[in-house]
Amino acid sequence: MASQEPVAVGPHAVGGGGPLLWICGPCVIESHDLTMAIADTLRGYSDRLRLPLVFKASFDKANRSSGKSFRGPGLQEGLKTLDAVKRATGLPVTTDVHECHQAAAVAEVCDVLQVPAFLARQTDLLEACGRTGRVVNVKKGQFMAPWDMKNVVAKLGEFGTRNVLLTERGTTFGYGLLVNDMRAVPWMQETGAPVIFDATHSVQMPGALGDRTGGDRRMVPVLARAAVAAGCDGVFLETHPRPDEARSDGPNMVPLDDLFGVIESCLRIRAALTPPAQATRADPHDRLRHSA
């Protein structure tokens, strides 16, 4: 396996055996006030569990099933909200970048630029994101093998980008269903990049609701725990106070009130896997380990 150098995300170091990174937030910015309220709750969770946490929300969901679906407030207004989140909570922030011209503006606010799975092989987009100097998180395409992500890392390296995260989010299995092969975690780590597991989009059922994507949020905690046991470097979880009323990806988001318990269960698994030599370090898992 390639040696893994930690990647700095805001004040946090991801990978190399360090604490799990958590990327959490709503699927899309539905309104400024709702987004700020979710961010405030997540900051509270981060403080209580001493979590390295990055806030995530999309300003535009450009790949909705229907052209009539809600997409978000757009680049300008969305970045204003993300900037407000960052200033109010102190949390690093991330969002999706769909087009090359968006990268520079997003990089002015966000600590991490996220490349959606459908666009993982788009060289021009990778270059635009990479040249900003920000961390780039690339989601593995549903149509790609885990080992093919070495080409993504190589492309970004050609553009001078070494701060790369890779995200596993399921593989297409027939029509309207995704499955996870947990071997993808160590296989993708062989690129040298830390690997995040997206438990939210892994439970999607594309097109299951006709003009909308369905899913089964009951499976989110199951897959998150499995990925932590497989050795991932971080977990991506979308959340909403009332997922059934959410304007995007509601079937796959964890209710905000339930998220704390999901995270806590994952931390217990991580603590059980922590080598004794690392057990004396002051990290977010110590409290859970000693209280178990």
- DSSP helix/strand/coil, 127: helix
Burial class (CB in 10 A: 0-12, 13-18, 19+), 191: buried
Q: How confident is the model at residue 2 (pLDDT cuts 50, 70, 90)?
A: low
Token duo for residue 137: 């998180």
Query: What is the reported pLDDT for 50?
Result: 96
- Mean pLDDT value across residues 59-72: 75
Is the pLDDT assigned to residue 44 strictly greater than 70?
yes
Per-residue pLDDT band for 174 (boundaries 50, 70, 90) equals confident
pLDDT band at 3 (very low <50, low <70, confident <90, very high): low
Per-residue pLDDT band at 286 (split at 50, 70, 90): low
CATH number of the domain located at residue range(s) 19-59+71-270 in this protein: 3.20.20.70
DSSP designation for 28: B
Torsion angle defined by CA atoms of residues 14, 17, 23 and 24, in that order, rounded to the nearest 10 degrees: -150
| pLDDT value of position 264 | 98
Structure tokens given for 72: 């978000």
Note the helical H segments in 17-130. Answer: 32-49, 75-89, 103-107, 123-130
Backbone φ and ψ of 168, nearest 5°:
-90, 130
Q: How many whole angstroms separate alpha carbon 124 and alpha carbon 129?
A: 9
Residue 250 DSSP symbol: G
Contact 39, 55 (CB under 8 A): yes
Q: What is the mean pLDDT of residues 125-146?
A: 97
**Pair 89, 43: CB distance under 8 Å:** yes
Report the pLDDT value the prediction gives residue 39, as an integer from 0 to 100.
98
